């Protein structure tokens, strides 16, 4: 058994006790990266080789020196008898949408390819202060705009460690793939419509979208400012809880980071779920997809394996003492994606105006006569097609003459989506659930190039995760089974504002109850011969 | 049904966004915009009475959880050269931009 098969929690415990060296853990992680990752994502990469198609390609930038300095520092402090932090010696990766001082911070976009961050994001700073070893920056969809990681300007894009022909999901695909392949124990992702939970489901790992405002967004390159949530990717619930404990809390540099006390997540894990009310909603048990020919939206039933994994999870939780509440109505779930097409695009367009070739990032190399032409050429060369599509859409639906019809309407529908959750969680209401149990994704991981380019179909991959972003409530995806094709199936738990503790308790209880299940023994393809 | 984003409207948006596309890209982007708007049209069916307010974000803050305003004090930046060093063109500590086009108003 490799050290990397242990949990982050147990590695940190061993390091704190002086039984394990952080440098040894780091070397194991670097060896794993060398064995499975292949060449890092870069610009202008050309055709992929056969070997490229057998590698994970999670990384854009490896920061080995930074990690080694951190590891040596931990070992020295432990030897000197000093107290070290809760993540001591735990190798982590950072989605390349966060600024980390003195490292390239690219957002997987050509327009930021030459940008070196002059400061470090709050979440990263807190992880490093807790003793984590920063292995590097991992790939994502350009500016996080996608659900497959394929839109990265840094190719080869990440592949799914369970099946190299398939996408890892996205946009935090590099994060979830690096954790699934054992290159890192933890990763820092972001979730705007499902960008942590959907790739976590596709890669068979745990991914948490905390409550909006639970974790500071300072140093996160913004997409949808009212939706973006930094959150942990881990291999089990305890590790995710440990990571959130370190990152959560108010930050004078983010005026949306709430002053909300941080409970002891690890302690609450063991409380069990006796008497908890867990809801199932019929509105999460059917899915909507655009017809490929007409573009009309069609309601379908969930794939049987995903439906069964969710219902089986409900039975297991009931055996652990939870009360299952069926038929919780969430009628506005179906409007999650249409409203998101409007709200997220308006925010994206606004946030992308800053990339203009003046203050930082790339400026066009071609000739220009004036400022306006410089803007035009820089933006035409610097942004990929997906950011351009989002900017055009955002400008259209927020234009003065269309704003009432689109933007204002979408914001009001957002209130309705929020009210579904408020009614379900209301302690005096008809349902009084502590958590909702749903599938995370409408399908398991799809094949590379199958969906990429169809921006509507790609967006609908987030249909079961996006309502939580509109509402702001926390959600977690945990592994819930493996399909006949050998692909992971994710199940999602949703709770009310700042009740991450509930998600961890339920998730942990499910993990304990399924620890010996056959599907837990199925490993990602990339690790099967190790 | 006619496309909501016509070729003319598309060109107008491209001008506003300061982009430039070849015909193939333009066709792809216009088609995707129209397909997305078809999905967005679903929102028309949602009954919205006057009492439903727009939500600028999901979670509401109360006086205890709302972040405190920082005191209005300045802090020196410890690495201004590093920040200026990211700009494509700098002279004497100033960021330089090309000529700004002017339109004479009558």
Q: Say if B75 falls within a structural domain.
A: no
CA B81 – CA B94 distance, rounded (Å): 11
Confidence band for B20, pLDDT divided at 50, 70 and 90:
confident
Question: Is residue B26 situated within a structural domain?
Answer: yes
Mean pLDDT on A355-383 = 94
Tell me: the pLDDT tens digits for A290-349?
887 777 789 999 999 999 999 999 999 999 999 999 999 999 999 999 999 999 999 999
Tell me the two tokens of residue B15: 């001008």
How far is it, in rounded angstroms, from Cα A183 to Cα A134? Answer: 12
Give B43 to chain A, closest Cα distance, Å: 7
Out of A88, A105, A151, A171, the active site residue is A171
Helix pair A8-16, A64-79: axis angle to 10 deg: 50
Give the SS3 label for residue B36.
helix
Is A195 tagged catalytic? yes
**CA-based nearest residue in chain B for residue A289:** B39
Mean residue pLDDT across chain A: 96
Q: Give A364's pLDDT tier (boundaries 50, 70, 90).
A: very high
In a domain, B27, yes or no: yes
What crossing angle do the helices spanning A304-319 and A500-513 adopt, rounded to 10°?
Answer: 90
Produce one character per residue of A347-371: b if its CB has 16 or more CB atoms within 10 Å, e if not: bbbbbbeebbbbebbbbbeeebeeb
The domain locations on chain A are 3-280+435-527
**pLDDT over 90, % of chain A:** 96
Chain B residues in contact with A379 by the CB 8 A cut-off are: 17-19
Instruction: Determine whether the interchain pair B99/A369 forms a contact, defined as Cβ–Cβ distance below 8 Å.
Output: yes
| Least reliable range by pLDDT among A10-14, A200-204, A441-445, B47-51 | B47-51
Check: CB of residue A413 under 8 Å from CB of residue B48: yes
Say if B87 falls within a structural domain.
no
- The whole domain housing B29 covers 21-46
3-class DSSP assignment, residue A401: coil
Phi, psi of A201 (to 5 degrees): -65, -45
What average pLDDT does the segment A421-433 reach? 98
Domain-embedded: residue B37: yes
How many Å apart are CA A444 and CA A199, to the nearest integer? 10
Residues A22-38 have a mean pLDDT of 98
Per the CB < 8 A criterion, the answer to whether A447 and A321 are in contact is: no
- What is the structure's pLDDT at B1? 61
**How far does A212 lie from chain B, in Å, by closest CA?**
7
User: Cβ of A395 and B53 within 8 Å?
Assistant: no
Indicate if A344 belongs to the active site: no
Report pLDDT for A44: 83
Catalytic residue among A175, A195, A455, A496: A195
At residue B68, the pLDDT reads 85
CATH architecture group of domain A3-280+435-527: Alpha-Beta Complex (3.90)
Q: What would the DSSP string read from start to end of A465-487?
A: THHHHHH---EEEEEEEE-TTS-
| b/e per residue A286-318 (b: at least 16 CB within 10 A) | ebbbbeeeebebeeeebbebbeebbbebbebbe
In a domain, B41, yes or no: yes
> Could you say which residues from 417 to 456 on chain A have a Cβ atom under 8 Å away from some Cβ of chain B?
418, 453, 455-456
Give the mean model confidence (pLDDT) for residues B62-77.
Answer: 89
> Does A229 lie at the interface with B, CB-CB under 8 angstroms?
no
User: pLDDT tens for residues A254-284?
Assistant: 999 999 999 999 999 999 999 999 999 999 9
Tally of structural domains, chain B:
1
Active-site residue A95, yes or no? yes
| pLDDT > 70? residue A453 | yes
Residue A485 has pLDDT above 90, yes or no: yes
Task: State pLDDT tens for residues A502-517.
Answer: 999 999 999 999 999 9
- pLDDT at position A291, please? 81
Residue A380: its H or E element: helix A371-382
Mean pLDDT to the nearest integer, A434-452: 97
Residues of B within 8 A of A408 (CB-CB) are 54
For tokens 């499975």, what's the residue?
A36
Query: Do the domain assignments include residue B39?
Result: yes
Summarised one tens digit per residue, pLDDT across range A125-167 is 999 999 999 999 999 999 999 999 999 999 999 999 999 999 9
pLDDT above 90: residue B57: no
Q: Is residue B40 part of a domain?
A: yes
Q: Which chain A residue has the Cα nearest residue B53?
A: A412
Confidence check: pLDDT of B18 > 90: no
Mean pLDDT of A363-392: 95
Asked if A406 and B89 come within 8 Å (Cβ–Cβ), the reply is no
Q: Is the pLDDT of residue A188 over 90?
A: yes
Contacts of residue A175, defined as CB under 8 A and 6 or more positions apart, other chains included, come to A58, A93, A95, A138, A140, A187, A188, A189, A196, A199, A233
Q: Percent of chain A scored above 70 by pLDDT?
A: 100
**Torsion angle (degrees, nearest 10) of CA B93, A374, A141, B7:** 150
Cα distance from N-terminal residue to C-terminal residue, chain A: 9
Please tell me the distance from the alpha carbon of residue A66 to that of residue A70, in angstroms, as a whole number.
Answer: 6
For the cut 90, the answer to whether the pLDDT of residue A358 exceeds it is yes
Residue A384: closest C-alpha in chain B:
B25
Which residue in the list A95, A137, A209, A499 is annotated as catalytic?
A95
Q: Which residues of A touch B67 (CB under 8 A)?
A: 250-252, 254-259
> Is the pLDDT assigned to residue A375 strictly greater than 80?
yes
């Amino acid at each position: 058994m490799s050290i990397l098969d242990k949990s982050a929690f147990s590695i940190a415990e061993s390091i704190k006790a002086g039984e394990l060296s952080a440098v040894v853990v780091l070397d194991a992680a670097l060896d794993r990266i060398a064995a499975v990752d292949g060449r890092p994502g870069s610009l202008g990469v050309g055709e992929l080789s056969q070997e490229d198609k057998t590698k994970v390609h999670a990384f854009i930038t490896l920061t080995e020196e930074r990690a080694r300095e951190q590891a040596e520092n931990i070992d020295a402090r432990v030897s000197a008898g000093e107290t070290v932090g809760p993540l001591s010696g735990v190798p982590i990766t950072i989605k390349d949408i966060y600024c980390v001082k003195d490292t390239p911070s690219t957002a997987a976009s050509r327009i930021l390819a030459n940008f070196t961050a002059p400061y470090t994001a709050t979440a990263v700073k807190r992880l490093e202060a807790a003793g984590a070893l920063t292995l590097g920056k991992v790939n994502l969809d350009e500016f996080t705009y996608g659900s497959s990681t394929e839109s990265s300007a840094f190719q080869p894009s990440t592949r799914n460690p369970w099946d190299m022909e398939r996408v890892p999901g996205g946009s935090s695909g590099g994060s979830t793939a690096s954790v699934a392949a054992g290159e890192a124990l933890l990763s820092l992702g972001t979730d705007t419509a499902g960008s942590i939970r959907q790739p976590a489901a596709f890669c068979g790992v745990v991914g948490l979208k905390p409550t909006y405002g639970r974790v500071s967004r300072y140093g996160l390159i913004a997409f949808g400012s009212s939706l973006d949530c930094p959150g942990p990717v881990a291999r089990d619930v305890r590790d995710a809880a440990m990571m959130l404990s370190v990152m959560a809390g108010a930050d004078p540099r983010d005026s949306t980071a709430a002053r909300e006390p941080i409970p002891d997540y690890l302690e609450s894990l063991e409380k069990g779920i006796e008497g908890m009310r867990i809801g199932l909603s019929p509105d999460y048990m059917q899915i909507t997809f655009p017809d490929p020919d007409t573009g009309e939206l069609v309601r379908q039933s969930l794939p049987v394996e995903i439906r069964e994994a969710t219902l089986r999870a409900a039975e297991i939780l009931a055996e652990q003492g939870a009360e299952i509440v069926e038929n919780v109505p969430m009628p506005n779930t179906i409007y999650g994606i249409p409203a998101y097409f409007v709200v997220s695009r308006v925010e994206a367009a606004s946030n992308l105006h800053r990339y203009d070739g003046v203050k930082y990032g790339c400026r066009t190399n071609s000739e220009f006569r004036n400022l306006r032409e410089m803007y035009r050429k820089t933006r035409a060369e610097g942004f990929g097609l997906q950011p351009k599509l989002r900017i055009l859409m955002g400008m259209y639906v927020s234009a003065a003459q269309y704003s009432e019809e689109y933007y204002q309407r979408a914001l009001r529908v957002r209130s309705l989506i929020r009210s579904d959750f408020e009614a379900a969680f209301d302690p005096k209401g008809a349902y009084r659930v502590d958590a909702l149990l749903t599938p995370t994704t409408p399908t398991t991981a799809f094949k590379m190039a199958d969906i990429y380019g169809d921006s509507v179909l790609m967006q609908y991959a987030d249909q079961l995760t996006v309502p939580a972003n509109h509402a702001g409530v926390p959600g977690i995806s945990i592994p819930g089974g493996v399909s006949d094709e050998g692909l992971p199936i994710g199940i999602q738990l949703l709770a009310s504002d700042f009740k991450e503790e509930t998600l961890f308790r339920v998730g942990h209880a499910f993990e304990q109850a399924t620890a010996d299940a056959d599907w837990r023994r199925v490993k990602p393809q990339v690790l099967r011969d190790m | 049904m006619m496309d909501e984003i016509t070729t003319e409207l598309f060109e107008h948006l491209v001008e506003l966004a300061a982009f430039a596309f070849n015909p193939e890209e333009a066709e792809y982007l216009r088609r995707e915009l129209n397909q997305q708007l078809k999905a967005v049209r679903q929102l028309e069916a949602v009954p919205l009475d006057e009492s439903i307010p727009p939500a600028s974000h999901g979670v509401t803050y109360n006086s205890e959880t709302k972040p405190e305003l920082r005191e209005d004090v300045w802090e020196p930046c410890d690495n201004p050269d590093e920040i200026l060093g990211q700009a494509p063109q700098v002279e004497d500590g100033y960021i330089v931009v090309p000529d700004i086009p002017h339109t004479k108003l009558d």
